[in-house]
Every structure is written in structure tokens, then in C-alpha cells.
């Protein structure tokens, strides 16, 4: 399966790309320019060796050539980036990791911005109505992605309106050691999931840590009468 990491040259995007490349998936790192994307590919190869399953492309080409898309851009770049991949994203699962933090407008990263659409993921679905948008990865610390010798001690909370798309990406996400996917329901739940991000950032700051995450427990106990 080809995974396109759209805007994949920042810390989060490179971490995600590296982990999935490490798991053996074919990765296309996208950026606004091919040159910038290639810099990202070179960084992944520095970490994993001269592997053959990661390559560079523009965001548009990465979207067209991939089976699953992962959006890893700041909120300020979300709309323009999504519009640039509109054709290639049609009919495909798009995992949106955008964090609507107040830091996007000069505020604090420990506060969540209220968007007219309800959440960043819902905003993505409005911009790309033909894509299968799934809110994902918001609650996994960027630092965890780069600890390549350790399993990630965090669940991945997801939500989306297309059940088949969620079923498709769940085993893919769980290829990363340590991650368990928790399906939280419809895309309208994204506003709740996204608000966990500033909470975790605040906890990390308070505890002088970079690994704070979240686990959902007890779901395997089934119904108790």
C-alpha cells in the first residue's frame, strides 16, 4: 500500500513517514516542491539507511499516486494544501492530523481554536467532500514518532464517517509498534479528539516531558449487566 505523507517535511510528518517506512510500507513524502520533499527523504534515509521504499514528490503527485493520504501541515497551511491535492484525494482515505491550536494565530499551544466547521478534520471534509476524511494522530506526541527503537506508548484515537475507510486504515496504523487504534465514531467527534492535543501539550510542559499520551482502557471487558 502506498502512503502519501502530504506536507511531510516537518517534524510530525517526517516521524510518521519514518515509522511507516520502517514497517516496510511504500512511502511518498510530499511537499510544495520536489526539492523540499527530497530533503525529507534524505533525512529518513539518514535514520533508516539507504532504503528503497521512500521517495519524494510534490503534494499533488503524492496524492495522485498514493492509496492512503496523511496530512501533516500546520492549521494555517491546511486549506491551501488540501485544495492543491483535491483531484488526487478523491475517493481516498485522508488521515488529518491537523491541530487547531491557538498558536496558529499567536496564542498558546495549550489552547484549542474554535473553528466554524467544528474541527480541523470537519474543515478538511468540507474542503474535500469527495475524500474520506479521518481524524487521526492528533494525540500522539511528535517526539514519540522519532523514538525508532521503542514502541509508541499511546493509543491513536480516530473518527470518521466512512466505516470502510476506517477499517482499511486501522491495521495500517497498528503496524507501528505500541499503537492501538480506538474508533471514536463519526467525524463530528473530531472536535473532542482535537481538544486532547492542547491538554497533552500542557501536561508535557508542566511535567517537563515530551512523551505524554493517552490510553483508553477497559473496552475489552465487554458489556457488564
Is the separation of the CB atoms in 180 and 193 below 8 Å?
no
Low-confidence ranges of the chain (pLDDT < 70): 222-225
> Is residue 184 in some structural domain?
yes
> Is residue 224 in some structural domain?
no
Q: What is the number of domains present in the chain? A: 1
pTM for the whole structure: 0.94
Give the separation between CA 27 and CA 88, rounded to whole angstroms. Answer: 16
Domain coverage including residue 31: 2-218
> Is residue 203 in some structural domain?
yes
Condensed to tens digits (0 to 9), the pLDDT of residues 109-140 reads 888 888 999 999 999 999 999 999 999 999 99
**In the prediction, which pLDDT does 110 show?**
87
Is the separation of the CB atoms in 37 and 30 below 8 Å?
yes
> Is residue 122 in some structural domain?
yes
Amino acid at each position: 500500500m502506498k502512503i502519501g505523507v502530504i506536507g511531510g517535511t516537518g517534524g510530525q510528518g517526517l516521524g510518521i513517514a519514518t515509522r511507516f517506512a520502517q514497517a516496510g510500507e511504500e512511502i511518498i513524502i510530499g511537499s510544495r516542491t520536489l526539492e523540499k520533499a527530497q530533503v525529507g527523504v534524505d533525512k529518513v534515509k539518514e535514520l533508516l539507511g539507504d532504503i528503497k521504499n521512500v521517495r519524494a514528490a510534490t503534494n499533488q503527485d503524492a496524492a495522485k499516486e498514493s492509496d492512503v493520504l496523511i496530512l501533516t501541515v500546520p492549521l494555517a497551511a491546511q486549506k491551501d494544501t488540501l485544495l492543491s491535492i483535491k483531484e488526487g484525494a478523491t475517493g481516498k482515505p485522508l488521515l488529518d492530523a491537523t491541530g487547531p491550536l491557538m498558536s496558529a494565530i499567536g496564542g498558546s499551544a495549550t489552547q484549542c481554536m474554535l473553528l466554524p466547521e467544528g474541527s480541523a478534520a470537519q474543515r478538511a471534509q468540507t474542503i474535500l467532500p469527495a475524500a474520506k476524511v479521518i481524524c487521526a494522530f492528533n494525540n500522539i506526541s511528535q517526539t514519540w514518532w522519532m523514538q525508532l527503537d521503542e514502541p509508541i506508548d499511546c493509543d491513536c484515537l480516530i473518527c470518521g464517517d466512512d466505516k470502510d475507510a476506517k477499517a482499511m486504515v486501522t491495521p495500517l496504523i497498528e503496524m507501528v509498534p505500541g499503537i492501538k487504534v480506538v474508533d471514536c465514531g463519526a467525524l463530528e467527534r473530531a472536535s473532542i479528539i482535537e481538544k486532547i492535543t492542547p491538554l497533552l501539550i500542557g501536561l508535557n510542559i508542566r511535567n517537563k516531558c515530551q512523551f505524554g499520551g493517552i490510553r483508553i482502557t477497559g473496552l475489552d471487558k465487554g458489556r457488564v449487566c
